[in-house]
Amino acid sequence: MFQTSAYTGDRVKDYEFVTKQLDALVADEKDMIANLANAAALLNQFLDHINWVGFYLWKEDQLVLGPFQGLPACIRIPYGKGVCGTAIKEQKTQLVPDVNLFPGHIACDSQSQSEIVIPLIDKDRIIGVLDIDSPIKDRFDETDQYYLEKFADVLLKAIKS
Which of 37, 64, 73, 156 touches ligand SME (CB under 6 A)? 73
Helices (H), the chain: 11-26, 32-46, 82-90, 142-160
Which of 37, 64, 106, 156 touches ligand SME (CB under 6 A)? 106
Beta bridge partner(s), residue 76: 64
Taking a C-beta distance cutoff of 8 angstroms, is the pair 106, 84 a contact? yes
Which of 25, 83, 88, 158 touches ligand SME (CB under 6 A)? 83
Q: Which residues inside 9-68 make contact with ligand SME, applying CB under 6 A?
A: 52
Q: What does residue 56 show for φ and ψ, rounded to 5 degrees?
A: -115, 140
Question: Residue 99 Cβ, how far from ligand SME at the closest point, in Å?
Answer: 7
Nearest by Cα to 14 from 156, 148, 160, 158 = 148
Q: Binding segment for ligand SME among 13-21, 38-46, 80-88, 147-155 (CB under 6 A)?
A: 80-88
Taking a C-beta distance cutoff of 8 angstroms, is the pair 137, 111 a contact? no
Chain positions contacting ligand SME, by CB under 6 A: 52, 73-74, 77, 82-84, 105-106, 108, 112, 115, 131, 133
